[in-house]
Chain A
């Protein structure tokens, strides 16, 4: 079995409180995966495309999972998702939408654009902790990863 704790997770989240709480939840859940954080949609695209300032793939490796907020500055989560699914080398990356909206149109739109899962950020920290644990076991341990390159 591969060491899943090496897999990088990319968190696209503009709210520093949320970032802090998610990081804390990761710590509390004893997850050692590197958690890369970008604070807006454009930065997420640059990161994934390997553009400056994220061109160093050693420092900024391609993630095994993207946690994507929808309401982001500069470029929304849905725009990031749409762009991602059009990239031949990246389109199979698993994306879990992690946002506060329970609106149907957000949920449906996200799935239409190819989200793999849709989670609503819980208010209670305990719930968030549960969610992070589940995320880890489902997406990093049990889930089979796709090959990113064509073919």
Chain B
């Protein structure tokens, strides 16, 4: 670009010179011409001046002659009309002399001559009035005077003639000077014009040639730069295409083919191919290439690395590159390619410090790879190196992915099998485990009824114990089935009227409520929550049952149910609550943010409290009570299977909620469950 700017400056300077010099020369020529013309004019003016002097002299002479002839006529004839010319001219003669005097003021000789003339004239004119008066008086004239006057007149004539002659000589001289000056002016003007013209022509010609040269030079530079730009754009476009081809291609071979076919439009070569090196095995692997004519290494061919990296030592990563080398300096593999090859270029494919392989070009032309071609090849090699590595990484990733998917599907199958087994187990428990129980229970009842009389008290007690145990076993099985069903059945969350559910559960528990004379206070209204109705009923049944069950003897059970709407704090989300027992267990954070808790960030939660005045739970036991089969009391004091609170925990887990307890021993318990609040429109 700088080169082009220099040319431009040069060009401008020359052009300015080519315009400015003719202008200056024209100005100079005009000055000279002006001066010469001025001189010519002044010379001509003098000629003119002399003409005017001569004319004035002639005029003065004519006036004098008129005066003389007037007087003479009068004197001869006595006729006064002859005096008219004399009178008219005598009025004009003085101004005429004065004019003449002023005209010749620059010429002292003529002034002298005019003075003399004027003296003669005054002498001559002095006689005139006396002669005229005499004629008037006597009718004659004095001849002597007449004669004197004639002499004086002649003298004046002579004087005037010589005056005029002098002026005429002067005029001739001046005319001559004017003529010469004119000729000189014309001549010099012509000369100057021709000279300057030629000079100008010469100069302009030279300048124009120089300007043209500069222009041509600038044009050449511009063309060169444009060409360079075009080539650069072409290269960029080609590299871009290669990029796109790399992105579009799936296998390394496709990537290589796409890149090389585009590169060959920019770099003239007959063979172009890519080999990848496996340094562990010492093998070079031909990935792909674009080739013309016979090519000894098809795609997928394997060669020794030595063929490409002479002197390669196993395990030692070496690389060298050969650019625009004659066939002697090319790697053995190229030499093996045959007679036709005369030039080669090998560019290492390198990512950071790792040598992956080589890009190899070979050509039959003796001088093929100029620096630009080498640069293009290097750029392509760089891109290919990255693409190769990416392809490798992608392959690895796909492999990992496939492995992972395989593992997931294996696990899924295992899980499905485990689930199916669990199902089968539950089914079997449901059907088969209770049959012997019924037999035990049924036959011991029958025994008691039909043969009770033959038993003593101990025998009856034994039979009764069998009945009771079988019943307990049945309840246990039923609870276990309930618990396992919670995990097995699919639940769909939807908005639920909490109040309706509480009322329904209390209705189910009515016999117990009545039997134990429980005071139940539900603080309406209870809000809507998102949950699963059946599960929620199960949960609440267990919680309310608990609240009525664990009461000190002789105390009237009092149960209070109320709800509050709140935002779950971050500490609670993470399960770090000091006095409360977080029972969300396995429910992961990820599961929490799933569909059933829309807009979890600003989610409002409902906490339902169930408070009793029972025996309470010591803090150290609060974690345990939510586990399966965990019991704090003997079966005699507080019957139960130890599954109820495990059902509460599991139920809330399935609904994406939480459960906990606040309690102290002997101070009653406050169980709570948290469920997302249903939106108002629900």
Contacts and interface: CB of A to CB of B under 8 A. Distances in A.
A125 B441 contact: yes
Interface stretch (B51-59, B246-254, B346-354, B428-436): B428-436
Contacts, number: 64
A133 interface: no
Contacts of A17: 435-436, 438-439, 442-443
A123 B441 contact: yes
Nearest to A123: B474
B406 to A, nearest CB: 32
A100 B477 CA distance: 12
Given A18-B435, A104-B489, A125 B430 contact: no
Contacts of A70: 431
Given A102-B478, A103-B430, A125 B435 contact: no
Nearest to B482: A102
Contact of A103 (B426, B439, B445): B426
Give the interface centre of A24, A104, A106, A123 by most chain B CB atoms within 10 Å.
A123
Given A17-B443, A104-B489, A121 B438 contact: yes
Interface of A: 15, 17-18, 20-21, 24, 70-71, 99-104, 106, 121-126, 128
Given A17-B443, A24-B446, A104-B489, A123 B434 contact: yes
Contacts of B438: 17-18, 21, 100, 121-123, 128
A121 B430 CA distance: 11
Contacts of B222: none
Given A18-B438, A103-B481, 10 more contacts: A20-B442, A100-B430, A100-B434, A100-B438, A102-B430, A102-B478, A123-B470, A124-B441, A124-B471, A126-B445
A77 to B, nearest CB: 11
28 contacts: A15-B439, A17-B435, A17-B436, A17-B442, A20-B442, A21-B443, A24-B446, A71-B431, A99-B431, A100-B432, A100-B434, A100-B438, A101-B427, A101-B430, A102-B478, A102-B481, A103-B426, A103-B427, A103-B430, A104-B489, A106-B430, A121-B434, A121-B438, A123-B441, A123-B474, A124-B467, A125-B442, A125-B446
Nearest to A104: B489
Contacts of B445: 124-126
A56 B439 CA distance: 33
A101 B478 CA distance: 10
Interface in B357-376: none
A97 to B, nearest CB: 12
Give the interface centre of B426, B442, B446 by most chain A CB atoms within 10 Å.
B442
Contacts of B471: 123-124
Contacts of A102: 430, 478, 481
A134 B470 CA distance: 24
A36 B409 CA distance: 51
B437 interface: yes
B474 A71 contact: no
A20 B467 CA distance: 17
Contacts of B489: 104
A76 B222 CA distance: 97
A123 B431 contact: no
Give the interface centre of B431, B443, B471 by most chain A CB atoms within 10 Å.
B431
Contacts of A71: 431-432
Contact of B442 (A100, A104, A128): A128
A40 to B, nearest CB: 15
B464 to A, nearest CB: 13
A24 B439 CA distance: 12
Closest 10 CB pairs of A and B: A17-B439, A125-B445, A123-B474, A21-B442, A101-B430, A71-B431, A100-B434, A125-B442, A123-B441, A100-B431
Contacts of A104: 485, 489
A101 B437 CA distance: 14
A116 B517 CA distance: 38
Contacts of B437: 123
Nearest to B489: A104
Give the interface centre of A24, A121, A122, A125 by most chain B CB atoms within 10 Å.
A125
A136 B185 CA distance: 161
A121 B432 CA distance: 12
Given A123-B470, A125-B441, A126-B445, A101 B431 contact: yes
Nearest to A17: B439
Nearest to B427: A103
Contacts of A125: 441-442, 445-446
B473 to A, nearest CB: 8
B433 to A, nearest CB: 8
Nearest to A129: B445
Nearest to B439: A17
B435 A15 contact: yes
A61 B525 CA distance: 60
B435 A100 contact: yes
Contacts of B443: 17, 21
A41 B669 CA distance: 53
A70 B428 CA distance: 12
A102 B478 CA distance: 9
Contacts of B481: 102-103
Interface in B506-548: none
Contacts of A20: 442
A12 B484 CA distance: 29
Contacts of A24: 442, 446
Contacts of B431: 70-71, 99-101
B484 to A, nearest CB: 10
